[in-house]
Amino acid sequence: MTSTWQPSADIDILKKRAQLIADVRLFFAQRDVLEVETPILSQAAPTAPYLDSFYTDFSPLGSDKKQPYFLQTSPEFAMKRLLAAQSGSIYQIAPVFRNGESGRLHSPEFTMLEWYRPELTLFQLMDEVNDLVQQVFNLAPVLRFSYRGIFEFFCKFNVFTCSDDEIQSFVTKRIVGLPADLDMNRDGWLELIMSYVIEPRLAAMNMSVFIYDFPASQAQLAKVDKDGQGNDVAKRFELYAGGMELANGYDELLDADELRHRFHSDNQVRQQKNTKTIPVDEHLLAAMTAGIPQCSGVALGLDRLLMLALNKRNINDVRAFKFELS
Amino acid sequence: MANFSTNEFKSGLKFMLDGDPCSIIENELVKPGKGQAFNRVKFRNLKTGRVNEKTFKSGDKVEGADVMEVELEYSYTDGEFWYFMDAVTFEQHAADANAIEDCKKWLKEQYVYTVTQWNGSPLLVTAPNFVNLEVTETDPGLKGDTAGTGGKPATLETGAVVRVPLFMNVGDLLRIDTRSAEYVERAKK
């Protein structure tokens, strides 16, 4: 039995981790992107139905009052308030927390690199993500596929025109061992195909790809617009490399009413599945009402980037102490 | 038997699936997009030996399987059963042809094997990683060839056929890696 005080990662790996973070800071310094720090504890949290925030209570000294505070799942909301205050381009390297998510590629506490670029379009931001990963280590050239394109390439169906039944029968044919009582909506099935069919194929072919123009129903906090074929698409991208989802970028939604609407419909889903509803971030809504500049933003998992750079299979191999030993 | 929830899944966990005992090889959390989480499990069916995959919704439960691994010494066979003995209690355990199928060609009296038992009876017998076996049949040795290049087939005392260097002779004792069925080196008698 090895003793439990020891780090999960070799000291040599931690030196490389420090170097990677220094390289990232240099990259943004060269591009005049301002490093910021925002609160890790917040009175509001994202409402996304399958995202579970840790929370704690604040009790002012000499009082029995308890005020709930959430640990951030990403620094997104606070950073957008800075954008509304005319910060210009900003980045942050921040600890983030997601309850329940523990596995080879998931740690309940991990490190996020997140940045916002008011001057850049979504495609220019993809270029910048590519520049960053090329600069900090040599990743094979990153290819670009639309969501429609990657499904056509690997699955031979059109995600916008094919029926729910066709998607489901594809899943039944191609993915073995699914729970018999699995009941999901169209996006659930598509996301399953992405994880079980497309990601492994990309990994096997050693391909790194940006996937952009997601179905509008997977918009999260991105704008919705028409693609070249007239389909409603979410203006966002994901970067897949080494069989992992590495980054998630948006052409940021700027419409406060639309954001409030998405928060509420998320909370309705939470109610339906009997999970806690989340207080809506009124500060963010107020900032958006005041006006956030047109901007593109992206969140990138720094631990996963390091795994890829150092060819490590488990997220705990690149973090000083894994969650179980924290 | 206890139930296990997906958060207790880890490699080596023995559970029941469709009436068969299975062992988890790999358990991976899958969180597609912003959707619900799954556990994608690679497992071995301990009855058939086959490796398969199954996805569980996070929070699903499985029934544990009463499976134990014990180290037992091979005694003899009567053609129908293969008998293994507990070196401490001298208790005999009879394994059927299915259970010994994979390691039949490495079975030698008095060697110790890992026997996987389900509800007390042998389900699967696994050979140790290395066994020493005598050559019973091979072409005559080539004296000059000590470099170990090339090779020839040799039949061992258990009936297994492996490739060995040209200089080996009948009666030589060889160390064999049972996982790859490859000759490793000459063993001392």
CA distance B117 to chain A (A): 26
Q: Flag if B34 and A220 touch (Cβ within 8 Å).
A: yes
Domain count, chain A: 1
- In a shared domain, residues B137 and B179: yes
- Host domain of residue B37: 3-63
CA distance B71 to chain A (A): 21
Asked if residue A253 is part of any domain, the answer here is: no
Q: Flag if B56 and A179 touch (Cβ within 8 Å).
A: yes
Q: What percent of chain A has pLDDT over 70?
A: 99
Q: Flag if B55 and A101 touch (Cβ within 8 Å).
A: no
A192 touches chain B (CB under 8 A): yes
Q: Is the pLDDT of residue A233 over 90?
A: yes
Asked if residue A107 is part of any domain, the answer here is: yes
Nearest to B98 by CA among B20, B1, B12, B183: B20
What is the arithmetic mean of pLDDT over A89-94? 98
For position A66, which CATH number holds? 3.30.930.10
What is the arithmetic mean of pLDDT over A227-239? 95
- In a shared domain, residues B115 and B166: no
Q: Flag if A191 and B35 touch (Cβ within 8 Å).
A: yes
Q: What is the DSSP string of B90-152?
A: --EEEE-HHHHGGGGGG--TT-EEEEEEETTEEEEEE--SEEEEEEEEESPP-TT--S--S-E
Using a CB-CB cut-off of 8 Å, the residues of chain A touching B29 are 101-106
Instruction: Assess contact for A79 and A296: CB atoms under 8 A.
Output: no
A183 touches chain B (CB under 8 A): no
- In a shared domain, residues B179 and B150: yes
What is the arithmetic mean of pLDDT over A252-266? 96
Asked if residue A81 is part of any domain, the answer here is: yes
What pLDDT is stored for residue A123 in this prediction? 97
Asked if residue A184 is part of any domain, the answer here is: no
- In a shared domain, residues B148 and B176: yes
- Host domain of residue A103: 1-140+288-326
For position B10, which CATH number holds? 2.30.30.30
What tens digit of pLDDT does each residue of B81-133 get? 999 999 999 999 999 998 998 899 999 999 999 999 998 889 989 999 999 99
What pLDDT is stored for residue B36 in this prediction? 86
- In a shared domain, residues B74 and B55: no
Instruction: Assess contact for A58 and A66: CB atoms under 8 A.
Output: yes
pLDDT band at A129 (very low <50, low <70, confident <90, very high): very high
What is the arithmetic mean of pLDDT over A14-22? 97
Q: Is the pLDDT of residue A282 over 60?
A: yes
Q: Considering chain A, what is the average pLDDT of its residues?
A: 94
Task: Give the C-alpha separation, B133 to B71, whole Å.
Answer: 20
Strands laid side by side in the A55-58 sheet: A41-42, A67-71, A55-58
Q: What is the DSSP string of A22-62?
A: HHHHHHHHHTTPEE----SEES-----TT----EEEE--TT
- In a shared domain, residues B142 and B164: yes
CA distance B24 to chain A (A): 14
A179 touches chain B (CB under 8 A): yes
What pLDDT is stored for residue B149 in this prediction? 62
Instruction: Print pLDDT tens along chain B (189 aa).
Output: 789 999 999 998 999 999 999 999 999 999 887 788 999 999 999 888 889 999 999 889 999 999 998 999 999 999 999 999 999 999 999 999 989 988 999 999 999 999 999 988 899 899 999 999 999 999 887 666 555 567 899 999 999 999 998 888 999 999 999 988 999 999 887
What is the arithmetic mean of pLDDT over A65-93? 97
Q: Flag if A182 and B33 touch (Cβ within 8 Å).
A: no
Asked if residue A190 is part of any domain, the answer here is: no
- In a shared domain, residues B112 and B137: no
Instruction: Assess contact for B116 and B68: CB atoms under 8 A.
Output: yes
A217 touches chain B (CB under 8 A): no
> Which residues touch A206 (CB under 8 Å, ≥6 apart)?
A140
Asked if residue A31 is part of any domain, the answer here is: yes
What is the arithmetic mean of pLDDT over A120-149? 93
Asked if residue A322 is part of any domain, the answer here is: yes
Q: Where does residue A253 rank: exposed (0-12), middle (13-18), buried (19+ CB within 10 A)?
A: buried
Asked if residue A178 is part of any domain, the answer here is: no
* A145: Cα separation from own chain's centroid: 18
What is the arithmetic mean of pLDDT over A261-267? 95
Q: Flag if A220 and B55 touch (Cβ within 8 Å).
A: no
For position B111, which CATH number holds? 2.40.50.140
A62 touches chain B (CB under 8 A): no
Nearest CA in chain B to A177: B54
Nearest CA in chain B to A273: B36
A220 touches chain B (CB under 8 A): yes
Domain count, chain B: 3
- In a shared domain, residues B121 and B171: no
Task: Give the C-alpha separation, B146 to B141, whole Å.
Answer: 10
Q: Does the structure's ipTM exceed the value 0.85?
A: no
